[in-house]
Amino acid sequence: MDIHHLKIFIAVHRNSSFSKASQELHISQPTISEHIKNLENELNCTLFDRLGRSILPTAAAGILLPHALQVVDELNKLKDAVYKDNNQINGELIISASTIPGTYLLPRLAATFKKKHPHTRFQILINDTGESITRVLSHETHLAVTGGTTKNSALNETVFFEDKLICVISRNLPKSDQKDLASIPVLLREKGSGTRQTMEEILAQAHIPLKEKNIAAILGSTAAIKEALLAGLGFSIISSMAVKGELTTGQLHQIPLDVACMTRPLVFISHKKRTLPHHYQAFMDMVTEELAR
């Protein structure tokens, strides 16, 4: 069995798409399809049901996936051993990250790491916190970065940064303070978002009721929340990293809240049953050192 076939199978399964796997691996889509077909012929089974433009993994794919991951992991461990012996850091880092760290923090840190270790490359997958955790639990990714801890006994969790959250409102709305927020429309992230969970906790501490009639919109990304704020749709609680420029230019205004803690931890998450490859651990160590300065 060709190890390359297994790597392509893992990429297709992870992306639930031949075309996305093609983009990830920089291989043409027909070549991806051919490798999967060869693997199916070798195993005498169907790995993916083709449903028009979408695909679904079969039961056989579910059986193959953990074994394929184990084989690729063992190969990576062998490479790690050689690289360590030669004091080299090499390889691809695939990180599933929630919106705030994935958009505003990891790209800069990845660039710093790559300058030090030019033979590495990154793939940062933006997912909500729930999906990022699921990808680690299902062994689709070695590492996730999320806002908030999970308390899942199967996972290792390492806090590396405190993300400052602030309450903001559009400049087009009347100037307000904490007592006025109960009557102002609120903008929320979708359920499953770490930001949504933290926001609900902060509003409860500030004694601001979250009434269904006051919810102006539920949006699927921080960028969408920011655009809605700029359009004057209401208020929200958002990472200060996401609105730094808009606060400086006066497009958004901050409303101080009488809440003891307006931060949330950003966390590295990995599976306890999988050993992190050397280049992943080196990246985590560098991030901790960079942000401690």
Domain ranges of the chain: 1-80, 163-264
Q: What is the mean pLDDT of residues 190-194?
A: 79
Q: What is the mean pLDDT of residues 32-43?
A: 91
Contact by Cβ (8 Å): 254, 167: yes
Please state, in angstroms and rounded to a whole number, the distance separating the CA atoms of residues 220 and 129: 12
| Rg for the chain, CA atoms, rounded | 22
Q: What is the mean pLDDT of residues 33-61?
A: 90
Q: How confident is the model at residue 85 (pLDDT cuts 50, 70, 90)?
A: low
Q: Which residue has the higher pLDDT, 87 or 103?
A: 103
Percent of the chain whose predicted confidence (pLDDT) is above 90:
53
Q: What is the mean pLDDT of residues 27-46?
A: 91
List, in order, residues 6 or more apart from 182 with CB less than 8 Å away.
208, 209, 211, 214
Q: What is the mean pLDDT of residues 79-97?
A: 78
**In this structure, which topology does domain 1-80 adopt according to CATH?**
Arc Repressor Mutant, subunit A (1.10.10)
What is the per-residue pLDDT for 84?
66
What is the per-residue pLDDT for 83?
63
Q: Strand ranges (DSSP E) for 41-138?
A: 48-51, 54-57, 91-97, 120-126
Q: What is the mean pLDDT of residues 62-90?
A: 78
What is the per-residue pLDDT for 216?
93
Across the chain, mean pLDDT equals: 89
Residue 212 has pLDDT above 90, yes or no: no
Report CA torsion sign: 245, 247, 249, 253: positive
Q: How confident is the model at residue 90 (pLDDT cuts 50, 70, 90)?
A: confident
- β-bridge partners, 252: 170
Cα→Cα distances 138→117, 146, 272, Å = 29, 16, 12
Q: How confident is the model at residue 71 (pLDDT cuts 50, 70, 90)?
A: confident
Q: What is the mean pLDDT of residues 65-84?
A: 79
Please state, in angstroms and rounded to a whole number, the distance separating the CA atoms of residues 161 and 109: 13
Please state, in angstroms and rounded to a whole number, the distance separating the CA atoms of residues 12 and 8: 6
What is the per-residue pLDDT for 70?
84
Say if domain 163-264 classifies as CATH 3.30.1960.10: no
